[in-house]
Amino acid sequence: MASPQPAPRRTRGRPRTPGAETRILEAALEEYGERGWAGFTMDAVARRAGVGKSTVYLRWRDKDALLLDAVGARAAGIEDVDTGSLRGDLEQLATNLFRHYLDPAGWATVRMAVDAAGAPSSLGSFTEKVARHHTDAILPILRRAVDRGEVPADLPATTLVLCLYGAVTMNRLLLPGEGRHLSDEELRAQVQAIVGFVLAGAGASGSAPGKRTAP
């Protein structure tokens, strides 16, 4: 008589309900975007996603692990841009960042930066990682600008990061109405104003010597 076959082992760590993980991650972004860290709970995410609490707790040990996964899954990569001028590069970078911040995942990163001071260390580590990505995105832009003679060689990348990303972030925080839609004209005007102030503060023209930037 053949011995009975062992029952298949149950794997842990991923929701077994089809499509559950995607719904949970989307629900986490929406929940956090609306309530912030203080009001963000695993139970509320489960209700919004339409799954049982056990499905959420099976995959994520706590709410900071869930939020980090949700933001990480949708975080937009900061791609290198090269338009041929410092002004053009910064305007494209700022435009990309604005659009990212109008997305639930982008808005969550803004709230995380605000909440990090009173939240678990993992959120602080995530915002530090984002800050490093921002600096890394500026470095090649700055090197090309130095080579073209648009900025002094000793201009620190941190200065541009703080000015550009700080201005875009504050602009997003002060937008009237969460998720307010910006028309292309509004977005262009916001970006041009921000980049103009950044370049003026950095003592840069935004274009190579001998070139004039179109008004």
- Higher pLDDT, residue 177 or 8: 177
How many degrees, rounded to 5, is the angle at CA 109 between CA 88 and CA 183?
50
Q: How many CA atoms lie within 13 A of 116 on its CB side?
A: 19
Give the C-alpha separation, 207 to 172, whole Å: 27
Asked whether the predicted pLDDT for residue 11 surpasses 60, the reply is no
Fold match between domain 20-73 and domain 76-202: no
To the nearest whole number, what is the mean pLDDT of the chain?
Answer: 80
Q: Is 99 strand, coil or helix?
A: helix
What is the predicted pLDDT for the residue at 129? 74
Average of per-residue pLDDT across 177-205: 81
CATH code assigned to 20-73: 1.10.10.60
pTM of the predicted model as reported, rounded to 2 decimal places: 0.70
Superfamily holding 76-202: Tetracycline Repressor, domain 2 (1.10.357.10)
Asked whether the predicted pLDDT for residue 208 surpasses 70, the reply is no
What is the predicted pLDDT for the residue at 128? 77
Asked whether the predicted pLDDT for residue 168 surpasses 70, the reply is yes
Q: Of 40-54, 84-98, 126-140, 168-182, where does mean pLDDT reach its minimum?
A: 168-182
What is the predicted pLDDT for the residue at 84? 94
Asked whether the predicted pLDDT for residue 213 surpasses 70, the reply is no
Q: Could you please report the per-residue DSSP string of 67-123?
A: HHHHHHHHPPP------SSHHHHHHHHHHHHHHHHTSHHHHHHHHHHHHGGGS-HHH
What is the predicted pLDDT for the residue at 204? 65
Query: Where in the chain are the domains?
Result: 20-73, 76-202
Q: What is the pLDDT of residues 91-128, one digit of tens each?
A: 999 998 888 887 777 788 788 877 877 766 677 777 77
Residue at 214: amino acid letter: A
Query: Which stretches of 104-183 are DSSP H helices?
Result: 104-115, 121-147, 157-173
What is the predicted pLDDT for the residue at 9? 45
- Ramachandran region, residue 203 (left: φ > 0; alpha: ψ -120 to 50; beta: rest): left
Confidence of residue 176 (pLDDT cuts 50, 70, 90): low
End-to-end CA distance of the chain: 89
Nearest CA to 91 out of 81, 103, 78 is that of 81
- Higher pLDDT, residue 66 or 132: 66
Nearest CA to 208 out of 82, 81, 83, 85 is that of 85
For the purposes of burial, counting CB atoms within 10 Å of the CB of 106, is it exposed (0-12), middle (13-18) or buried (19 or more)? buried
Q: Of 7-11, 35-39, 52-56, 195-199, where does mean pLDDT reach its minimum?
A: 7-11
Tell me the percentage of the chain whose pLDDT exceeds 90: 32
